[in-house]
Structure 1
Amino acid sequence: MRRVTSLKALILASALLAAAPASAEIRIIQSPGGQVGPFLDLFEKVRESGERVVIDGPCLSACTLVLSIVPGERICVTKRAVLGFHAARSVDRRGRFYAEPEASVAVLAAYPGPVRDWISRRGGLTSRLLLLKGRDLAAIYPRCR
């Protein structure tokens, strides 16, 4: 079992996936998100490997792309799981964030229907962080055994 706790660990885990047996699991215990590319690469490898994903803590921002890439039947959540969603954004050369509306539409469309519906009922993807946890999350993804 590997734990994803930071972007460095995420990249390291990505490199290790090729040798992982199909019965292994990825356990996300704390991910603040980050640049989309490394998350897409990792979750594509997880999908191909057949591994299960256990969300066991905060999975925020780009980390939530796991929901779009790994089949839902291979994702489970613990009581500590929290998913955090916001609109897509980029950073300019001066370190200022700016909205990426087209990317936000694409990301929202890629989420599974129940997640998309939950986000839409709360006003959609905006600069405000939406936290999916507890009963709402357990209604969408099964608890890990």
Structure 2
Amino acid sequence: MRCFVLALVLPAVLISPARADLRITRDHGGYVEEYKAKYERIRQNGERVIIDGICNSACTLVLGIVPNNRICVTPRASLGFHQAYYDKAYTFGIRVTSVEGTSDLMAYYPPPVKDWIRRNGGLTPEMKKIKNGADLWRIVDPCPGE
């Protein structure tokens, strides 16, 4: 009987996916829909996110998709926010902001992010950054032991 139980348990152990932390060190953003899908998978898998460097633009969607208690920042972390814009491939290489895209970004951000953005003049085409310190820690907890 004991061998039969092991035979049922062992395959489940061998095929279950391993959880790993996502460490963000140098992410300048990209396509919003790709980041939404990526962070949704991380949220569903119960993974943690360690922001250990640059997290700009679409990367910051992590703050609204992955639960806050599974995100932390190191002293090297920085967050950068700006208005959404259309892919330059469709705008003849010109940077054209998207009101709809910017509204979508803002809808994902939790209240502490929205408050910081509001206190700093709202989203603009220029990048606004938060570096290590009190402003960042109001949004995301420091990683233990950092």
Question: When the two structures are superposed, what TM-score results if normalisation uses the length of structure 2?
Answer: 0.81
- In structure 1, what is the Cα distance between the partners aligned to 2:23 and 2:83? 25
Counterpart mapping for 1:101-140 below 5 A: 101-135=99-133, 136-140=135-139
Unaligned runs of 5+ in 1: 1-18
Q: Tell me the secondary structure at the aligned position of residue 57 of structure 1.
A: strand
Q: Deviations over 1:77-124 (max 9, x none)?
A: 000000100001012242111110122122112201001000011111
Q: Deviations over 1:38-64 (max 9, x none)?
A: 211111100000000000000010111
Q: State whether residues 112 and 138 of structure 2, in contact with CA within 8 Å, keep that contact through their aligned partners in structure 1.
A: no
Tell me the amino acid that sits aligned with residue 95 of structure 1. Answer: G
Tell me the amino acid that sits aligned with residue 52 of structure 1. Answer: R
Tell me the amino acid that sits aligned with residue 18 of structure 2. Answer: P
Alignment partner for residue 79 of structure 2, among 54, 70, 83?
A: 83
Alignment RMSD: 1.3
Q: State whether residues 52 and 75 of structure 2, in contact with CA within 8 Å, keep that contact through their aligned partners in structure 1.
A: yes
Bigger radius of gyration: 2
Tell me the amino acid that sits aligned with residue 80 of structure 2. Answer: G
The count of residues paired between Structure 1 and Structure 2 equals 126
Identity of aligned residues (%): 46
Q: State whether residues 76 and 142 of structure 1, in contact with CA within 8 Å, keep that contact through their aligned partners in structure 2.
A: yes
Question: When the two structures are superposed, what TM-score results if normalisation uses the length of structure 1?
Answer: 0.82
- In structure 1, what is the Cα distance between the partners aligned to 2:63 and 2:111? 11
- In structure 2, what is the Cα distance between the partners aligned to 1:56 and 1:66? 13
